[in-house]
Amino acid sequence: MGDHYLLNLYECDPRRLNDEDFIRNTLEEAAKFADMTLINIMSYKFTPQGVTAIALLAESHMSIHTWPEECKAAVDVYTCGDKAKPEVACSTIKSYFLSKQSTIDHVVRL
């Protein structure tokens, strides 16, 4: 059915983690670089801090949940088909948040 990547980002730039527009742009750029078809992006900025954003893709979805106060983000990238490059999306997101440490798990959905 697809590939599901679970990316945990640590030691990120807290300003970027709390910038809703930056996060939306990051999802858009990650989709473009990873040959994904972006349908829509929804996001929500929490008070006093943190953002959740979801990109709906023709191939499935990407999501980002941030904790600026802890310099952390949790990212899901799930794609179906052979065209998309979810590893590129993960790498793009990691670099945009200036993450100094990360973990990644790959789950093959059958």
Which of 4, 12, 60, 90 is an active site residue? 60
Tokens 């999501």 belong to 63
12 is catalytic: no
Instruction: For the chain, count helices (H), then strands (E).
Output: 3, 6
Which of 43, 61, 63, 80 is an active site residue? 80
71 is catalytic: no
Sheet holding 38-45, edge to edge: 38-45, 51-57, 60-67, 72-79, 2-10, 101-109
Which of 43, 61, 63, 65 is an active site residue? 65
Catalytic residues: 60, 65, 80
